[in-house]
Amino acid sequence: MNWFPPSELRPVGRRTLLAASAWGCAGGWARPASARPAVELEAGRRPAASSFGRARSTLLFFLCGGPSHLDTWDLKPEAPAEIRGEFQPIETSAPGIRLCEHLPLLARQAQHLALLNAVDGTDPTNSHLAYYYHLTGHPLDPSFVALGGNRRQQADDWPFVGSVVGAKLPSRGPLPPAISFPWIPETPPDIRAGQFAGRLGVEHDPLYLFADANQPGRFQAPALTLPEGTTVEALGNRRHLLSLLDRTAREWDRGAGTGAWRKHQERAFSLLTGGATREAFDLEREPAAVRERYGRTVNGQSLLLARRLVEAEVPFVTVYWLPDRKRAEELKCASAGGWDTHGNNFGCLKQALLPEFDRCFSALLEDLGERGLLESTLVLVTSEMGRQPKIGDPRTGGTAGAGRDHWTYCLTDLVAGAGVSGGRTYGRSDRHGAYPHEGRVTPGDVVRTVYHAMGLEDLGMLDSQGRQTQLLDEGVVLEGLWS
């Protein structure tokens, strides 16, 4: 293995220390006494090429539910059977990376990948609320612990990373700076916190597009959908269009001020009437062979749309893995259809999740590379958690149920593009994949690194109340990714 550490480590702050003392961690696993980098960088050594501002766009692929790192990109073949599971690692195009045997297409693209195998996303609730940490870079505050599953989006939440990028970068044209699709995890009223602009104000929310599961490749935003029979050509009267959009204002955000809603109107008008912007969303313009390569699923076509939006110079594009609830029920995954494999973990991965991911994500990397876009696009794959090392969730029959429970204490992120040195593994987990062992990083480090790659250093900003705020105090830039 080829490990490389952060270029600097940040001291643990008093707030973090107190939080860790108060909340503790899940029982049953012994956390290593230390989580030191695997290798120290030479004194004064810097990356060969500047990493700051290397990315024109960031493409975030969020695997909703929490994939098992132990059965995908951080396998432990020497661990006891109750931990290592059924899958075997395979060699890849990069000597430093081994992946699950059910990722053969991605194995051919491994030279592009940097694997962060020691991400510590510790969440005191050990639940899906950890979306917030990975999407904002901020640890969960005590309100998440107090409210648990009842914790909803709040106006003073820290903003989504894409909202910050969109707010800080200059406009590049009529398309919104942050676009998310093909759904909002989860459905109301349980929408996961962290996906919106929070204290920055509703005008910095990403534009959400929604997919039609029966017509993969068709995307639309409800707030921007025209009434049946209305054509773009019929919208020459600007006031008529704005009146149509006004009807959705209360559904969009009842608390948004007039100025914020007006900005949404202007954005909607540009999207509906601009020929170039309509073309960006039209997947029918893609050759049939390209659409087949990505896979004719919502997730596959979403990644194809993401590539088109990167071509259109959208700064921040987010694809949230859309669960297949029907398939999950058939396979007895004991989940809502995503990567939350409480039951039949290995069957669900082998027969559904991994083949679909393998096809669409390998297609994305291959496509970006062939089009010369990978050098200017930062690609990040993450989730809210990994899975518990010991097989068998008590809620689904224990060992017989063959599931893996939640595990926020260790997971793997995949990074590629924007000059990142691919074909390498960054850090490692312990021998059971339970906790970071060397090269520990946090979601705050990852988000800070995204900002760095996008050329954002000053993260000070006025919030929606006119207050000066520092959008991220957490984390350090992972310069080692470019060494």
In this predicted structure, which of 245-254, 293-302, 340-349, 414-423 has the lowest mean pLDDT? 245-254
Residue 402 has a pLDDT of 97
Query: Could you give the percent of the chain with pLDDT greater than 90?
Result: 66
Residue 480 has a pLDDT of 95
- The letter for the amino acid at 192 is R
Residue 247 CA to residue 240 CA, distance in Å, equals 11
Q: What's domain 14-214+299-482's architecture?
A: 3-Layer(aba) Sandwich (3.40)
Residue 417 CA to residue 65 CA, distance in Å, equals 25
User: Is the sign of the CA dihedral 51, 52, 55, 58 positive or negative?
Assistant: positive
Contact 203, 265 (CB under 8 A): no
Residue 271 CA to residue 294 CA, distance in Å, equals 26
Contact 345, 325 (CB under 8 A): no
Q: How high is the mean pLDDT of the chain? A: 83
In this predicted structure, which of 271-275, 400-404, 434-438 has the lowest mean pLDDT? 271-275
Average of pLDDT values for 419-448?
97
Residue 257 has a pLDDT of 47
**Which pairing describes strands 406-407 and 386-387: parallel, antiparallel, or unpaired?**
antiparallel
Residue 3 has a pLDDT of 32
Res 44 pLDDT > 90: no
Among residues 263, 167, 137, 50, the alpha carbon closest in space to that of 460 is found at: 167
Residue 219 has a pLDDT of 87
User: Is the sign of the CA dihedral 437, 439, 441, 446 positive or negative?
Assistant: negative
Which residue reads 């929604």 in tokens? 210
Res 49 pLDDT > 90: no
Res 112 pLDDT > 70: yes
User: Is the sign of the CA dihedral 207, 212, 213, 216 positive or negative?
Assistant: negative
Residue 5 has a pLDDT of 32
Among residues 123, 132, 137, the alpha carbon closest in space to that of 25 is found at: 123
Residue 164 has a pLDDT of 97
Res 296 pLDDT > 90: yes
Residue 220 has a pLDDT of 80
Per-residue pLDDT reduced to its tens digit, 127-162: 999 999 999 999 999 999 999 888 888 889 999 999
Residues in contact with 269: Cβ distance below 8 Å, sequence separation at least 6, in sequence order: 238, 241, 242, 245
Contact 426, 4 (CB under 8 A): yes
Task: Give the residue with greater pLDDT, 257 vs 396.
Answer: 396
Per-residue pLDDT reduced to its tens digit, 197-229: 999 988 899 999 999 888 898 888 655 554 555
Q: How confident is the model at residue 230 (pLDDT cuts 50, 70, 90)?
A: low
Task: Give the residue with greater pLDDT, 303 vs 7.
Answer: 303
The widest CA-to-CA distance across the chain, in whole angstroms, is 69
Phi first, then psi: give them for residue 301, nearest 5 degrees. Answer: -70, -25
Among residues 236, 226, 219, the alpha carbon closest in space to that of 268 is found at: 226
Average of pLDDT values for 291-315?
97
Residue 106 CA to residue 87 CA, distance in Å, equals 16
Residue 279 has a pLDDT of 81
Res 21 pLDDT > 60: no
Which residue reads 């534009």 in tokens? 207
Q: How confident is the model at residue 191 (pLDDT cuts 50, 70, 90)?
A: confident
Among residues 287, 317, 324, the alpha carbon closest in space to that of 302 is found at: 317
- The three-state DSSP-derived secondary structure of the chain is CCCCCCCCCCCCCHHHHHHHHHHCCCCCCCCCCCCECCCCCCCCCCCCCCCCCCCCEEEEEECCCCCCHHHCCCCCCCCCHHHHCCCCEEECCCCCCEEECCCHHHHCCHHHCEEEEEECCCCCCCCHHHHHHHHHCCCCCHHHHHHHHHCCCCCCCCCCHHHHHHHHCCCCCCCCCEEEECCCCCCCCCCCCCCCCHHHCHHHCCEECEECCCCCCCEECHHHCCCCCCCHHHHCCHHHHHHHHHCCHHHHCCCCCHHHHHHHHHHHHHHHHCHHHHHHCCHHHCCHHHHHHHCCCHHHHHHHHHHHHHHCCCCEEEEECCCCHHHHHHHCCCCCCCCCCCCCHHHHHHHHHHHHHHHHHHHHHHHHHHCCCHHHEEEEEECCCEECCCCCEHHHCEHHHCCCCEECCCEEEEEECCCCCCCEEECEECCCCCCEEECCECHHHHHHHHHHHCCCCCCEEECCCCCEEECCCCCCCCHHHHC
Is omega for the bond preceding 203 within 30 degrees of 0, making it cis?
A: no
Instruction: Please state, as a whole number, how many other Cβ atoms lie within 10 Å of the Cβ of residue 98.
Output: 21
Contact 463, 134 (CB under 8 A): no
Which residue reads 């997730």 in tokens? 299
Per-residue pLDDT reduced to its tens digit, 307-338: 999 999 999 999 999 999 999 999 999 998 89
Contact 474, 137 (CB under 8 A): yes
**Which pairing describes strands 468-470 and 460-462: parallel, antiparallel, or unpaired?**
antiparallel
Res 441 pLDDT > 50: yes
Among residues 321, 339, 388, the alpha carbon closest in space to that of 126 is found at: 388
Residue 295 CA to residue 217 CA, distance in Å, equals 10
Q: How confident is the model at residue 29 (pLDDT cuts 50, 70, 90)?
A: very low
Residue 38 has a pLDDT of 34
Task: Give the residue with greater pLDDT, 186 vs 274.
Answer: 186
- Residue 273 exposure: Cα atoms within 13 Å on the Cβ side: 15
Res 390 pLDDT > 60: yes
Task: Give the residue with greater pLDDT, 88 vs 24.
Answer: 88
Res 17 pLDDT > 60: no
